[in-house]
Every structure is written in C-alpha cells, then in structure tokens.
Structure 1
Amino acid sequence: MSLSLIPTELLLQISTHVQLQGLAALTRTSSRCYEILNPELYARGIASGLVMHMLFLAAEKGLPNTARACLSRRPSVPAEAAHYGLERKLLQRAAELGHAEVVKQLLLWEFSDPNAGNGGTFETPLKIAIFGGHTGMVQVFLEHDRVDCNFEDDYNRFTPLHLAAMRGFVDIAKLLLERADIKLDEQDFYRRTPLSYAAERGNTEVARLLLERNEVNHEAKDKEGKTPLDYAVSEGRAAVVRLLLAASATSSNDHSVLRDLKITAAAHARGFHKKSDRLKATIKKMGMRSK
C-alpha cells in the first residue's frame, strides 16, 4: 500500500516506531506525509539535539518552516561542526540551490556569516547566487545590511560586480548598481574592472549600464596596459566598441558631425586600420571603412 493511502492515525503510530533518520525519510515521500509527520520530526529532532542535521535538511530541500522552527531555538553550533565551518555551509548550500526563503530565515536569525567563504572565487553565498543566475536570491542578499556587495575573494579579487559583468546578467547587475555603496571600478588581481570583462565578453547591456554611470572610468588600464576598448576590439565585440568609442568621443558640447569624426579617428587610432580578419569583421559590423 502506498504511504499516501495510509490513514493519518496509522501513519502517526508508525512514526513512533522508526528512528529519527527514518522519520526524516518518511516526511520526504509525499506532501501529505510531510504535513502530518513534520511536527513529530521537529519535536524528536530538537529533543535529540540534532538541530544542525535538521537545518541541513531545510537548506537542502528548501524547507523554510523547518529552518524557522530550528532557528527559533537559538541553537548553538557543536564544536565539531564549527571546526569544519558547517554553519557557513548552510547558507552557501541554500544559496546554491536557490532556496530564497530558507536564506531569509538564516539571515533573519543571524545564524551564518553572509560574507563567509573558503577563499574560493565563487564561494561566498552572494557570489554563489550570482554565478548561478539566481536573481531573486541575489536581491534577498543585497537587501540585507550585513552583506558586503564589494566582497573580494582571496584568489582573483573578483567582486560580485565582476561576476555579473563576466556572466552578462543584466538584472543582477542592475540590483548591484542600486546599492549606494557599490564600487564600480574596483580592480581585481589583474587590475581589470567589471567594464573590462563586460567589454571582452561582449555583454553589451551590462557595459551600457556601467557606462551610464558617469563615475565609471572607461579607459582604465589593467596590468598589461589594456583598456576595455582594447579587449572589445581584439574580440570583435562591435556593439561594445560603439558604446566605448561614443563614451570616449561624446561630451555635452559635441556636435553630431564632430562626434562622428572623433569616433572614426579613435577607431583608427586603436588599430582598426590593421587588416586582421577579426578587426575587418568588426569594422564591417560597425559600418566603418578600413583604409
């Protein structure tokens, strides 16, 4: 007989004869079993001191009610769990799987450090959410005051805005740019800015968002002396090249004809006159003539 067909009274009776791990497995068999058996799981789990196990279940399966019930008890992290950073991994795992409501509970009860990571490029919860493209999750983190929107990893020194620019996530970039404390031109280990990566990868809309901010330095040079325009040209990103050249040549007093002349002059100064196939293709896309 299917568990979903067993009468409620009998199901509750069965639950009293199984161990906690088996009870947790029963709650996952169907929504009905979860609704009936979850109160028993709370009671026995908390009584047995297995709050961390239940919190991991909540993070893994996306169970905000379970998370709330455990966190309301203000659990202390066992020494062994703290040694391995398991309380940190709770938030990371929930972020990775896109369980926004569980993340809200963990942030609300201040159980995990939202900026903690292992030094890896994508291992802080916010960066995990960005890398996975979880826009709603990113919004949850950015609305929380404790989350550092400019947090750099220990390896490449990428910030969240670097990641959004690399991945081309326009909505996530917009959310980051709404933070008053966002650093637009933060340089990574290679001294590259978010705009540099957006230009190289042809993420036109992210580049446009960045260039709309007057404080963005669109001519910032990296360790190799390359600017965002250099990367856009070398990769044949015609649409981004247009944006960057316009940003270089345009000012409030420019006449349209003078602006066009400046753009064309800048293009040739940057090497558009060279006859490499990629540059010629870019010139053709832009509607320019190559000499």
Structure 2
Amino acid sequence: MALSSLPSELLLQLCTHLQLQELGALTRASSRCYEILNPELYSRGIAAGLVMQMVFLAAERGLANTAELCLCRQPCPPPEAIQFGFEDRPLQRATDLGHVEVVRQLLKWGFGNPNAGSGGTFQTPLKLAIFSGHINMVRVLLEHHSVDCNFEDDYNRYTPLHVAAMRGDGDIVKSLLQRIDIKPDEPDSYRRTPLSYAAERGNTDVVRLLLECSKVDRYSKDKQGMAPLDYAMIEGNTGAVKLLLSAEWNIASSSRGNSLFRRLEATMTAHSFYIYKKTGPIRAAITKFFH
C-alpha cells in the first residue's frame, strides 16, 4: 500500500515521527500528500525558526501560497532590529523579480520594512518597481499606506517621482500623482525637481502631467539657477519647451511676428533666452511653434 493512499489521520500521525526534511520529501510525493501535509510542514518550519528562509524562498520563486502559509502562522512580523543583510529582504527581492502576489502577501502581513533598501543599489521596493517599469507592482505598493511615496535616497535625494520622470514613464507618474500625500515638486540634492529632469530628457507626457498638477512650480531653479525651461532649451527638446511656454499663454490666440521675442523674454530665464538667440537650430525649431 502506497504511503500517499493512507487515510489522512494516519498520514498526519506518521508525520509526527519524521524529521522536517523527511516531511518535506513526503509532502512532494503526490498532490494529496501536499494538500494534507503542507500546512503541517510550514507549521513545523516556523516552530523550528525557519520562517525567514521559507519566506525568502517564496519571494525568490514567486510562491504566493507559500508566503501566505508562512505568514499566517507567524505570530507577529519580525522586529525592526533584525538586520536581514544584503540579499535577505524578501519584500525587496519579490519586488525586484516582479512577483506581485507575493508582495501583496508580504505587505498584508506587515513582513519587513517597505521603505528599506536592499542590495548594492540600496533601492526601496517602490524604486525597484519604477526602475523596472512594472506598473502593476507600483500600484500594489502605492495602495499600501506604509509605503512612503516621497522617500528620498541618501545619495542624491531622488524621490520615486524623480526616477519616474527621468524614465519618462507616464503611467507610473500618473499613479504617483494620485497619492494624496505626494510631493510633486520636491527638490533633490541639486535642487532639481522631477519637472526639471522630465524637461531635460524631453519626456513630454511626463512634463504635461506635472504641469497639470497645481503643486508644481514651473519656474523652480536649481543650484545653478537653471529652470526646467533652460534644460529643455539646452537639449533642444522642442516638445517640452512648447508645453512649458504654453502654460503661460494660449498659443492659438498669440500674435505673430516680432512679438515672439517679447513673449519668450517674459517667460524664459536669461540663460535660456541667450541660448534661444544664439543657437540657430533651437531657435528655428521653437519659432515654428509660435510664428
């Protein structure tokens, strides 16, 4: 008679005489053994102090059910004093690998610090999701109140919105702006805002979204006295320039001819106006929008 065909009561009694490794092997013998013995396997593993290893395995392989079985039997989340180390943060690992349902379980049970960095980059889960362009992961993280959407890194004080603006990911920027506690105009260590980076890189969809936000100052200047318009001009990003200028007046109703200089002069900083006057290609590209 095969072990897997034993009555459930006998299987459960048998497992009390097995070592944890032997119990794991029996659990994998058949789908019936798995269904009956798996809860006992996780309970034994947690009792043996192996919860971190088990949760990390779930994070590594995207095993949402495994994560839930571990976490629902864990009496409380690990204390903050525990230092998981370089690669032992399940939440960051699951985020980096794109395992949305595992991340959902870890957040639900409060397992780990959602604003802690991991690995050589020391990026938070939210920034890891933004770097990978994983919009569903970003949304899951932003739904959780404990995730700080304005968290600044220690190196250059980039917020998640800085990173999304640099990447030009409009969907992620839109999701970030929907958080009621978002600070869309937060400067980094160079006093540059997300709008400044989006304008510099020609990410017009992001520029448009940020300009629609009443908390964003299009005139903000960095440590060098440079405004978003300056960066858009320097890089020749005419789409971004058009958006930044059109925020000041209705282009369709603006007059033509010599008034172009006066309109630009009233809006640009001295630096970007100098570039406009001296750089032929930029001047020609921008003039076509207004003349």
Calculate the TM-score normalised by the size of structure 2.
Answer: 0.78
Q: Could you say if the C-alpha distance between residues 208 and 95 of structure 1 is closer, same or farther in structure 2, counting changes exceeding 3 Å?
A: same
Whole-angstrom CA distance in 1 between matches of 2:23 and 2:70: 19
Unaligned regions of 5+ residues in structure 1, if any? 1-6
257, 263, 272: which one aligns with 2:255: 257
Map of 1:67 onto structure 2: 67
Task: Please tell me whether the aligned partners of residues 88 and 117 of structure 1 are also in contact (alpha carbons under 8 angstroms).
Answer: no
Give the letter for the 1:204 counterpart: T
Map of 2:129 onto structure 1: 129
Map of 2:236 onto structure 1: 236
The C-alpha deviation readout for 1:26-47, integer Å capped at 9, x for no partner, is 96xx999987985564355335
Map of 2:276 onto structure 1: 272
Aligned residues, how many?
A: 274
Q: CA deviation at 1:22?
A: 10
Q: Could you say if the C-alpha distance between residues 71 and 255 of structure 1 is closer, same or farther in structure 2, counting changes exceeding 3 Å?
A: same
Q: Could you say if the C-alpha distance between residues 50 and 176 of structure 1 is closer, same or farther in structure 2, counting changes exceeding 3 Å?
A: same
Unaligned regions of 5+ residues in structure 2, if any? 6-10
Q: CA deviation at 1:231?
A: 0.9
Map of 2:211 onto structure 1: 211
Task: Please tell me whether the aligned partners of residues 87 and 112 of structure 1 are also in contact (alpha carbons under 8 angstroms).
Answer: no
Q: Could you say if the C-alpha distance between residues 159 and 34 of structure 1 is closer, same or farther in structure 2, counting changes exceeding 3 Å?
A: farther
Q: Secondary structure at the match of 2:89?
A: helix
Q: Secondary structure at the match of 1:83?
A: coil
Map of 1:4 onto structure 2: none
Q: CA deviation at 1:98?
A: 1.1
Q: Secondary structure at the match of 2:186?
A: coil
Q: CA deviation at 1:208?
A: 0.6
Task: Please tell me whether the aligned partners of residues 58 and 102 of structure 1 are also in contact (alpha carbons under 8 angstroms).
Answer: yes
Q: How does 1:33-112 map to 2 (within 5 A)?
A: 38-39=38-39, 41-74=41-74, 82-85=82-85, 89-112=89-112
Give the letter for the 2:101 counterpart: E
Q: Could you say if the C-alpha distance between residues 146 and 33 of structure 1 is closer, same or farther in structure 2, counting changes exceeding 3 Å?
A: same
Q: Secondary structure at the match of 1:285?
A: helix
Give the letter for the 1:9 counterpart: S
Map of 1:3 onto structure 2: none
Aligned-residue Cα RMSD (Å) equals: 3.9
Whole-angstrom CA distance in 1 between matches of 2:86 and 2:47: 21
Whole-angstrom CA distance in 2 between matches of 1:70 and 1:166: 38
Whole-angstrom CA distance in 2 between matches of 1:232 and 1:21: 64
Asked if 1:9 is matched to 2:4, the reply is yes
Task: Please tell me whether the aligned partners of residues 92 and 118 of structure 2 are also in contact (alpha carbons under 8 angstroms).
Answer: no
Task: Please tell me whether the aligned partners of residues 87 and 111 of structure 1 are also in contact (alpha carbons under 8 angstroms).
Answer: no
Whole-angstrom CA distance in 2 between matches of 1:158 and 1:61: 30
The C-alpha deviation readout for 1:123-170, integer Å capped at 9, x for no partner, is 111111111111111111111111111111111111111111011111
Query: How many percent of aligned residue pairs carry the same amino acid?
Result: 57
Task: Please tell me whether the aligned partners of residues 121 and 154 of structure 1 are also in contact (alpha carbons under 8 angstroms).
Answer: no
Give the letter for the 2:275 counterpart: G
Q: Secondary structure at the match of 1:72?
A: helix
Q: CA deviation at 1:199?
A: 0.8
Task: Please tell me whether the aligned partners of residues 195 and 207 of structure 1 are also in contact (alpha carbons under 8 angstroms).
Answer: yes
Q: Could you say if the C-alpha distance between residues 274 and 238 of structure 1 is closer, same or farther in structure 2, counting changes exceeding 3 Å?
A: same
Q: CA deviation at 1:269?
A: 2.6
Task: Please tell me whether the aligned partners of residues 121 and 158 of structure 1 are also in contact (alpha carbons under 8 angstroms).
Answer: no
Whole-angstrom CA distance in 1 between matches of 2:52 and 2:187: 38
Task: Please tell me whether the aligned partners of residues 87 and 93 of structure 2 are also in contact (alpha carbons under 8 angstroms).
Answer: no
Q: Secondary structure at the match of 2:214?
A: coil
Q: CA deviation at 1:229?
A: 0.9
